[in-house]
Amino acid sequence: MNWTRKDLIAIQDLQPEEIIHILDTALTFEEVGQRDVKKVPALRGKTLVNLFIEPSTRTRTSFELAAYRLSADVVNITATASSITKGETLKDTALNLQALHADIIVIRHSSAGAAKFLADRLDVSVINAGDGAHEHPTQALLDAFTIRQKKGRIAGLNVTILGDILYSRVARSNIHLLTKLGARVTLAGPSTLVPRVFEEMGCRVCYDIEEAIADADVINLLRIQHERQRQTMFPSIGEYAAIFGLTKERFDRTKPDALIMHPGPINRGVEIDSDLADCKRSVILQQVTHGLAVRMAVLYLCAGAQPAEEAA
Ligand code: CP
- pLDDT tens per residue, range 226-238: 777 777 777 788 8
Ligand 1 pocket member 61 (CB < 6 A): no
How many whole angstroms from 286 Cα to the centroid of ligand 1?
Answer: 14
What pLDDT is attached to residue 309? 62
Residue whose CA is at the smallest distance from ligand 1 atom 1:
263
Cα dist. 257→32, 100, 290 in Å? 29, 50, 20
Strand ranges (DSSP E) for 2-55? Answer: 47-52
pTM: 0.95
Out of 59-68, 94-103, 128-137, 299-308, least confident range = 299-308
60 Cα nearest atom in ligand 1: 8
pLDDT of residue 33: 86
Nearest residue by C-alpha to atom 4 in ligand 1: 58
- Average pLDDT, rounded, for the chain: 94
**Atom of ligand 1 at shortest range from CA of 57:** 7
Q: How far is the CA of 312 from the centre of ligand 1 (A)?
A: 38
Residue 128 predicted with pLDDT over 90? yes
Is 289 near ligand 1, meaning CB less than 6 Å away?
no
Q: 228 CB under 6 A from ligand 1?
A: no
pLDDT, residue 81, reads: 85
Q: pLDDT tens-digit profile of 228-275?
A: 777 777 778 888 999 999 999 999 999 999 999 999 999 999 999 999
Handedness of CA 194, 196, 197, 198 (dihedral sign): positive
Q: What is the pLDDT of residue 149?
A: 98
255 CB under 6 A from ligand 1? no
Mean pLDDT across 20-40: 94
> How does pLDDT run across 160-185, given as a tens digit for each residue?
999 999 999 999 999 999 999 999 99
CA of 90 to the centre of ligand 1 (A): 21
Band (pLDDT 50/70/90 cuts) for residue 307 is low
Q: Ligand 1: which residue has its CA nearest to atom 6?
A: 56
Testing ligand 1's pocket by substitution, the residue of 59, 266, 267 carrying the most ligand atoms inside 8 A of its CB is 59
| Least reliable range by pLDDT among 132-141, 174-183, 300-309 | 300-309
Check if 291 has its Cβ closer than 6 Å to any atom of ligand 1.
no
Strand ranges for 120-237 from DSSP E: 125-131, 158-162, 184-188, 204-206, 218-221
Residue partners of 244: CB distance under 8 A and separation at least 6: 162, 163, 188, 189, 190, 209, 271
Does the CA dihedral 226-163-244-268 come out positive or negative? negative
